Structure formats: C-alpha cells, structure tokens
Amino acid sequence: MFFLAGCDRPTDVERANKDKVLLVGNSAEPKALDLQLVTGVPESKIISALFEGLIGNHPSDDQKMEPGVATRWEHNEDMTEWVFHLRPEAKWSDGAPLTAADFIFSYHRMLSPGLAAAYAPMLHSIRNAEIYNRDLRGQILCGLDESFPLPWEVLSKANFEGVKVADAEKLSKADFKTLAQDEKRRLLASKGLDRMNQAQLEAIIAEPGLFDWPGEVPIEVRPLVLQRLRDYLVAGEPDLFEQAKIGLAAPDAHTLKVTLREPVPYLPSMVRHSTWYPVPKHVILKFGKMTDRFTDWSLRGNLVGNGPFQLSEWRFNHYIEVKRNPHYWDAAKVGLHGIRFYPIENPYTEARAFLAGQLHTTYTFPAELLARARKSFPQYLKQEPYVGTIFVRLNVTRKGLEDPRVRRALSLAINRAEYCQYIYEGYTPAKSLTPKLGEYRGPEVLDFDLAQAKSLLAEAGYPDGKGLPSLALLTSRPHPAADALQQSFRALGIRVTIEQKDWGSYIAAQQSLNFDMALAGWIGDYLDPTTFLDMWTKGNGNNNTGWDSPRYSGLLREAAQQPDTASRYATLAKAESILMDEMPILPIAWYTRLYLHRPEVKGWHPLVLDNHPWKTVFLDP
Amino acid sequence: MLRNIIHRLLQGLLVLYVLGTLTFFLVHALPYGPFQDEKAVPPHVMERLEKLHGYDKPLYTQYFLRLKNIAQGNLGMSIKVMEGRKVSDILGQAFPVSLTLGIIAICIAMLIGIPAGIFAAIRKNSIVDYAIMTVALLGICLPNFVIGPMLAEFFGAKLGLVPVAGWNPANPFSLLLPALTLGLVSAAYLSRLTRAGMLEILNQDFIRTARAKGQKGWIIVTRHALRGGLIPSIAYLGPAFAATVSGSVVVEAIFQVPGIGRLFIKAIETGDETLIMGPVLLYGTLIVIANFLADLLQIWLNPRLRAANAD
C-alpha cells in the first residue's frame, strides 16, 4: 500500500532528540499566554518556559530556592520587609533591560481592579494590595489620608462594602429615580458607599436620610466622605495606585523592596508562582492600555518574556513551540534548543501518542491503565507525590450534616486504604487535609472505624441512619469513587443518591450552597499549608461548605503573625485539627501524579509542585 | 425553478434566525455563567467582567445588540474559552480543518460504500451480499469511539504506518485515520442505501427490456441503473456531509484534530455564548446549504422531479 512509505521514517521523538527539542503533552490549548490573566495548568507550563520570576525552581528539591531574576534577597526580623537584589544583566527577550520598575508595573497591573485578574489575591499579602485590588475606594480616599478628620478604625464602621439585601438585584436593574424612598434605601444599603454611582451619592448628599450611618461617625464628617467619593467619580475614577500606598518600592533600578501586611516567611516560595512573574511594560502598552484584558501582546510575534525560552510558533490546537532565548542571563546553561507543547486533552490519545514515539513526556496517565503499564512498559511509568487532595465537600447547612458527629461518622465510614487500592490507584490514603509539605505535618487523625461511626451516628440521634434524609452526592462526571462512597455510607444506613451535573452546573451548585455532598479536589499553589487551610475561613470564595469557626480563623490569623516557621506550623496544625474535628470536608486521598516519561530526558526529578524548571532539562538519547 | 430556489433561501434564513434566537436564550438559561471559574472569582472581578461583556444589561437589550451585530457579520469575541479573540478568527482557524476532515471522510465513504452497495445489489442474496451487509450493519452499530482507537491501535501503534494522533497538513497520513473513522459509518449507510436503490431500479421494466435486448450486464448497471439507483444515496449525502463535518467531536478528541468540535464542547461547558453561537450558525448554514444542494442534485438525477420543477 502507498502508506507503507512511512515505515522506515524515524519517530518524532528520535528526530526531536537529534534537534534537542523536548516534546511535551500539555493537555489543553492555552486560551492566551498573558500570565496575569490565565489560571490553567497547561498555560502555566508554557509560561514557566517563557518567563522567570524573582526566584526560580530548583530542579530536584522543592524546598530549595534558586536565584532567578534576583541574585539574592533579605528580610527584616519579623519578615514583613523584603529586599530583592535583581541581576543587572537581566534582559527581556527583545534585548530591553529588565529592572525593578518592570516588577512594580507588573504588580500594579496584576492588582489593578480594572484588569480583573482572578489570581490577584496571590499578591494580597503586599501591604494595601488588597484594598487597591478590591477597589475599596472609601478606605483609600479617606482611610489612608492622614489629614482626614476621622481615623479609619472609626470610619470603617460605616457601610462601605454593602450588605445583603434580598431584592437588591431587581432594584439595581430598575431606574434609580423611579424607586420608592424605601426601595432606594435598601438598594443603597446593598451597594455600600464604595459601589455607589454618582447619582446615588448625590441623592444621599441631598437627602441624608437615604443612608444609615453608625453613630460613631459624626454628622459633619459624613458629607466629607460622600464628597470625596463623588469627586472621584466625577474625575472619571482615576487609578488609585499611588494613593493606596502599596508596599512596593524601587530604591534603584536593580533593587525591589516589598513591604508586607503581615509576616510571610514563605514569601520566597510564593514568588515562584507565575502570578509574581514580571510582564513587559513596553510591549503591553504597545498593544493597549495597562488594564485591557487579552490584547494581542501575548500572541506569537508580539510576546516578549524573560525566561530561558521564547515563543517561536503557535499553531492553533496543534502545538506551541518555544526556542532558546539568546538574551536570557543564563542562556549558556539552557540544555534544550526548544520545547513543543501539544494540547492533547484525551489521556488515552496522549498515552497512545507517547507509546508511538510522538512525545517525550505526558501530562497525565489514566489510573485504570496502571496494571497494563506496570506489565508492558514499566520503564516509562512515573508515579510521584503531588500537592493535592481529593475530598468530599459537605454542606453543613443541610439537615443532618449540620451535626459534626454525623460528619465524623461519615468520615469514619470511609476505608481510605481500600479506595487507594482500587479507585485512586497509586494515591496515598489521606490522613488529614494537607498532604506532606516540607516540614509541615498535619494532624494524622483520619481513620476507618465502622463501630465508632455507628455509635456517633446513634449519639447524634440517627441510629442506623434512621431519621436522616437521603443525601445527594454531586459529581461532575461519572466516577467510581461516587459509587464507592454510596456503598461506604450505606454501611451506616445512610442513603446516598448520585447527582451528576455538567462542569459549570457542578461548580455553580457548590458556590451557591445548593448541594448536600460533592466530590472535589484541590491542588496547592505554593509550598505552604495555608494553600490548603486559608480556603475554609469565613467568606472565602472556595469554602462553599457553609462552615465557619471563629477559633479556626483566629488560629490562622495568629499563624499569619508568626515569623518563626516551626511555631507557625504548630499553630497551623492546631487549626487543621479543628478542621479535622469538625469535618466540613472528608479528605479521601492525597494525589499522586501519574505520567509517562522517556528515559533520555535528563535533569528531571520528582517535584511535589510539578514545577520542573525547563532550563535544566536536557536530552541524552 | 428560480422561484423554488428563492423560496428555499428565504426558508434557510428563517431557520438560521430561529436557531440563533433559541441558542441565545438557551445559553442564557444555563444555571452557570461564563465568568465563574473552578476557583472562586472575587465579586469585584465578576462585576467588572459582566460589565466588560455587556452582561449587566437587561437580557432583551443584549439580545437585540447581538442580533444587530450578527446581522452585520460581527460574531463578537469569545467570552471565556478563548477570551478576547474574535470568534470569526477562531472559526477561521478551526473550520478549514473540520471541513478538510469532513470532505476526506465523505470521499472515503463514497469510495467504499457505493461500490459495495452496487456489488451487493448485483449479487443479491449471495454470500457476497450477506457479507457486505453484515459488515455494513456492524459499521453502523459500532460507535466511532470504538472504531477510532481500534484503528489507531492497529495501523498506528502496531504497524506504525500512520501517526496515532495529531494533525499535520504536511503529512497527509496523519489525516487518514480520523477521516477513515469518521467515514466508515457513512460508508455503511451508503452501501445499504445504494443496495436498496439499485435493487429497486434493477427490478423495473426498462431494465428487463435492456436485458431482453441483450445488453451486457455492466453496461446495464452503469448506464441504465446507476443514475436512478443512486437517488437514495444522494438524498442521504447532503445531510451526511453536514453531519460529518459538524459531528466530528469524538473523532477530534481521539485523534487530536484541531477542529471546531472540541472548542464547541468547551464553549458549552463554560457557557461561552459567542463561541457557541458561531459554530451553531456555521453548522446551521452548512446544513441548509448541503440539503439544498442535495435537493438540486436529486432533481437533476430524477427525470420525474425535473419535469415537475420545469415551470
């Protein structure tokens, strides 16, 4: 046949080995490469080849900090002031010098409310960054102004951020002028001073009765606040970056000073996250305003980075190719000539492509093929711990689940070792929420004990599950774990139905607390237990359980003030014990990253954050 | 004839209008919106995004704005999946791939299906007929997510003849497996339709007359029977072509083909209204045109219809 001609051609991998190009399975087509706007893992893999942060990743040790753009860094005693010394030879890939001003521009852009970057909270530990990012203009215009007659501690008692009002959405859609007096009051209360428009502020100035002030705010100060907010709107909402006095400074071109709102001993680990990378001011402003979302600056031909590689080819849904960046400060050490990222979403297709010699390393590997892999191609199989946890999220506002004893009983009914043997093959049975992270050890309390589970359930008033309503377990796709949980909970006499929704509805149901139980997972962003623990505080957008504990939040706040890592970890472990005692979530397994990898790829070691620095990888066939 | 064509065109426009309107309101009735994310989106970010994409306006205002823009040929920007990129640009990159795949697949289907059907009809009720029809039935029953991986495993992984995944226009072999997978189902249908159509014609009087006159077998088939016998297949080809081009989602995933299908699914999963609307209208147009052309072809092939349309 005519296609036999293809027979003796070398495989893609063999050709790539010769060209020193790494072929990487990368799951999905990136929606863009603007590192401040994208949030996906596939994007972050490419971005880490194109950009470099202040501190880099060590090829074999997650705990070690490698110099990146910064050659060295130091901090004051309580770890609230950090100084990064940037290497003077650092350049953008177009040859322009990279200075501390670029970093300040980058963080300014990332935090600016206009850009609406979803990951901006990663920078909130910088002093005043949060109030600027959340556009809390009352605090910036009045609170941060020392000449203002009332200190912020008092003024902040006023309703700046708005309160919940049942019919707020309906009221806000109507014409303000046509509303009845009482409706106006409710709408204004729901908005809060920070979110009001000019007409609304003027309405209050004309008619003070429309807005409730706390008694602590003297009557003569109130118009002053309204006036400042109104003037700001009249001026066209100018950028408040300067007024916000954000803790960023550049004493000279190669020194970056970062002042934090609280001690962050793990700041070096945090700045390795892509949200802390610099973006090229001179390029971004060429293609639009600073706060324009998704302009053409990050497309091929335009994108300028500062990493070991530069973007050379972007073929839609086919591959993205990067080539060595000659302007990179450490270019001599870069081991590859290029990397090709293939957006292969189907893991089975990816495995086939790998085995046919089309990829050096895959993005993932389906657990159900583990047995076959162990038998037929064990030399390619990689199984490495990864900072992620699979858990069941409980809605503690639901009947039955509001009782911590019931939640503990549910947890005790889960035989985690068995789950990791048959369903999450290769994963580690979870002993608490946070997996092993450096020196941190969470409370290792999770256990399987049916007898105790039954007695707890009886104690809660539901002997053998009697009296408990049937609970629905929410999933986003069919998963054997859902059936297994159904079985586990049936052993307690609890009836569980499986409710499968598409991805969007699955997320929406959790965010609106419209579910009983949900099968979920969480991947850590940086190497600190707070990446798992912060989300369970009250008001955190990822909590979605209805649970909150002042004692838990208090301990997290306390930990945030502790510069000493050992005592900080102890406090965090105490907080995690509360979480594991109250059980708004049922951790099941700690992630393992499964993937296929060719032996000729060298300089690649297991890393729990899976942030392999591309610059040290090389090919040795 | 001309009146007929104009009539069909207007009908097509109405179909597209209803299709677009339904799509718009259905997407907006989804329980989730395009701005939510796996990790929670802060409220002020949500507010800003809604304003940016006009989601803060009343629904009917949004509807008329979209209608006006689309009528002017502006499909808008993707809201989520490829945020900030023009839908027309995205379709411009992905549609040629889906179209190429569809055309090759339909060609494969015709090359396999029609000869097989003719052959089965000539050898009616023989072993050959049964064998072809059994294989065809299998082809109809087996879904492409079974056939695809099997072909990839055999021709790609075992024999190493073609790449198991990926789309490389420079290497035509990479197009072969996805097109074959996609084409096999249509080939199966075509063979059955062709067989039935041929049998009907072969039983007609004028064929008997030809036979009686001593005409050779293959000339009877090619000259007299084929034209009429293919009518059912032609009627099927129009919709089949549109379905092949638009229905390649699974095949695109199996073989990593950069077509529209995967984007479309992602757009639906995230409620990216503009990126849903683009392919819906594109596919809608394609189906309208394909059906129209199939009708024309049928009229041309069938003397009775031709006479009826002669006014």
End-to-end CA distance of chain B: 6
* pLDDT value of position B165: 78
End-to-end CA distance of chain A: 32
Are the C-beta atoms of A405 and A460 separated by less than 8 Å? yes
Whether chain B has a CB inside 8 Å of the CB on A546: the answer is no
Mean predicted lDDT score pLDDT of chain A: 93
Q: Scanning every residue of chain A, which has its alpha carbon at the shortest distance from the alpha carbon of B255?
A: A349
Q: How confident is the model at residue A359 (pLDDT cuts 50, 70, 90)?
A: very high
Rounded Cα distance, B147 and B184, in Å: 9
Q: Are B152 and A114 a contacting pair at CB < 8 A?
A: no
* pLDDT value of position A8: 56
% residues pLDDT > 70 (chain B): 99
Q: How confident is the model at residue A483 (pLDDT cuts 50, 70, 90)?
A: very high
- Please provide the DSSP assignment of A506-558 as one string: HHHHHHTT--SEEEEEEE-SSSSTHHHHGGGSTT-TTT-SS---HHHHHHHHH
Smallest Cβ–Cβ distance between B254 and the set A343, A349, A544 belongs to A349
* pLDDT value of position B279: 93
The pLDDT tens digits of the residues spanning B95-147 come to 988 898 999 999 999 999 999 999 899 888 899 899 988 988 888 888 888 88
* pLDDT value of position B171: 75
Helix (H) or strand (E) holding A250: strand A248-252
Q: Which DSSP category does A77 fall into? A: T
Q: Scanning every residue of chain B, which has its alpha carbon at the shortest distance from the alpha carbon of A3?
A: B161
Which residues of chain B does A505 touch, with a Cβ-Cβ cutoff of 8 Å? 30-32
Taking the domains of chain B in order of start, what are their residue ranges? 87-310
Which residues of chain B does A294 touch, with a Cβ-Cβ cutoff of 8 Å? 83-85
Integer CA distances (angstroms), B276 to A54, B266, B268, in order: 40, 9, 6
Q: Are A7 and B85 a contacting pair at CB < 8 A?
A: no
Rounded Cα distance, A608 and A592, in Å: 9
Cβ contacts of A150 within 8 Å, gap of 6 or more? A142, A217, A218, A221
Comparing A368 with A482, the larger pLDDT belongs to A482
Q: Are B32 and A295 a contacting pair at CB < 8 A?
A: no
The pLDDT tens digits of the residues spanning B223-281 come to 788 888 888 888 888 888 888 887 778 888 888 888 888 888 889 988 999 999 999 99
A179 to chain B, closest Cα gap in Å = 17
User: A559-583 burial, b if ≥16 CB within 10 A, otherwise e?
Assistant: bbebbeeeebbebbbbbbbbbbebb
Which residues of chain B does A29 touch, with a Cβ-Cβ cutoff of 8 Å? 258
Whether chain B has a CB inside 8 Å of the CB on A13: the answer is no
Which residues of chain B does A544 touch, with a Cβ-Cβ cutoff of 8 Å? 40
β-pairing, A81-86 vs A381-394, is unpaired
Q: HSE on the CB side for B136, CA within 13 Å?
A: 24
Q: Report CA A319 to chain centroid distance, whole Å.
A: 26
Are the C-beta atoms of A265 and A240 separated by less than 8 Å? no
Helix (H) or strand (E) holding A294: none
Helix (H) or strand (E) holding A299: none
Whether chain B has a CB inside 8 Å of the CB on A331: the answer is no
Are the C-beta atoms of A431 and A442 separated by less than 8 Å? yes
Smallest Cβ–Cβ distance between A293 and the set B83, B253, B263 belongs to B83
Integer CA distances (angstroms), A142 to A134, A139, A205, A391, in order: 16, 5, 17, 44
Q: Are A113 and B44 a contacting pair at CB < 8 A?
A: yes
Cβ contacts of A64 within 8 Å, gap of 6 or more? A58
The amino acid sitting at B274 is T
Integer CA distances (angstroms), B67 to A2, B24, B274, in order: 50, 10, 12
Smallest Cβ–Cβ distance between B255 and the set A29, A349, A355 belongs to A349
Smallest Cβ–Cβ distance between B83 and the set A7, A12, A31 belongs to A31
Smallest Cβ–Cβ distance between A542 and the set B39, B80, B85 belongs to B39
Lowest mean pLDDT among A278-282, A285-289, B26-30, B44-48: B44-48
Rounded Cα distance, A322 and A339, in Å: 5
Question: CB pairs below 8 Å between A and B: how many?
Answer: 148
* pLDDT value of position B310: 61
Average pLDDT over residues A370-394: 94
Comparing B293 with B68, the larger pLDDT belongs to B68
Rounded Cα distance, A544 and A553, in Å: 15
CATH entry, B87-310, from 3.30.1360.120, 1.10.3720.10, 3.40.50.300, 1.10.580.10: 1.10.3720.10
* pLDDT value of position A411: 96
Smallest Cβ–Cβ distance between A31 and the set B81, B97, B258 belongs to B81
The pLDDT tens digits of the residues spanning A530-547 come to 999 999 998 888 899 999
A505 to chain B, closest Cα gap in Å = 6
Average pLDDT over residues A195-217: 93
The pLDDT tens digits of the residues spanning A436-462 come to 888 898 999 999 999 999 999 999 999
Q: How confident is the model at residue A6 (pLDDT cuts 50, 70, 90)?
A: very low
Rounded Cα distance, B187 and B205, in Å: 29
From chain A residues 134-173, the ones with a CB under 8 A of any chain B CB are 134-135, 173
Q: Scanning every residue of chain A, which has its alpha carbon at the shortest distance from the alpha carbon of B81?
A: A31
Q: How confident is the model at residue B306 (pLDDT cuts 50, 70, 90)?
A: confident
The pLDDT tens digits of the residues spanning A226-248 come to 999 999 999 999 999 999 999 99
* pLDDT value of position B309: 67
Among B45, B79, B248, B250, the residue to mutate for chain A (most A Cβ within 10 A): B45
Rounded Cα distance, A182 and A165, in Å: 12
B218 to chain A, closest Cα gap in Å = 28
Rounded Cα distance, B123 and A441, in Å: 77
| A4, pLDDT greater than 50 | no
Q: How confident is the model at residue A2 (pLDDT cuts 50, 70, 90)?
A: very low
Smallest Cβ–Cβ distance between A353 and the set B49, B149, B165 belongs to B165
Mean predicted lDDT score pLDDT of chain B: 87
From chain A residues 107-126, the ones with a CB under 8 A of any chain B CB are 113-114, 116-118, 120-121
Average pLDDT over residues A216-223: 94
* pLDDT value of position B252: 87
Q: Which of A106, A454, A120, A416 is nearest to A280 (CA)?
A: A106
Among B256, B257, B264, B268, the residue to mutate for chain A (most A Cβ within 10 A): B256
Q: Which of A241, A245, A210 is nearest to A226 (CA)?
A: A210
A439 to chain B, closest Cα gap in Å = 27
Whether chain B has a CB inside 8 Å of the CB on A349: the answer is yes
* pLDDT value of position A5: 40
β-pairing, A70-75 vs A496-500, is unpaired
Q: Are B37 and A118 a contacting pair at CB < 8 A?
A: yes
| A433, pLDDT greater than 50 | yes
Whether chain B has a CB inside 8 Å of the CB on A504: the answer is yes
Average pLDDT over residues A97-113: 97
Which residues of chain B does A348 touch, with a Cβ-Cβ cutoff of 8 Å? 149, 254
Q: Are A540 and B40 a contacting pair at CB < 8 A?
A: yes
Rounded Cα distance, A220 and A207, in Å: 14
Rounded Cα distance, B121 and B194, in Å: 8
Q: Which of A247, A122, A263, A124 is nearest to A561 (CA)?
A: A263
Tell me how many degrees the CA angle A278-A281-A283 measures, rounded to the nearest 5.
Answer: 110
Integer CA distances (angstroms), A355 to A16, A345, A364, A378, B152, in order: 15, 16, 13, 12, 12
B30 to chain A, closest Cα gap in Å = 8
Are the C-beta atoms of B79 and B273 separated by less than 8 Å? yes
Q: Which of A286, A268, A288, A279 is nearest to A111 (CA)?
A: A279
The pLDDT tens digits of the residues spanning A273-332 come to 999 999 999 999 999 999 999 899 998 899 999 999 999 999 888 899 999 999 999 999
Q: Which DSSP category does A430 fall into? A: P
Taking the CB of residue A308, how many other CB atoms lie within 10 A of it? 29
Whether chain B has a CB inside 8 Å of the CB on A302: the answer is no
Smallest Cβ–Cβ distance between A118 and the set B41, B152, B258 belongs to B41
| A268, pLDDT greater than 80 | yes
B158 to chain A, closest Cα gap in Å = 9
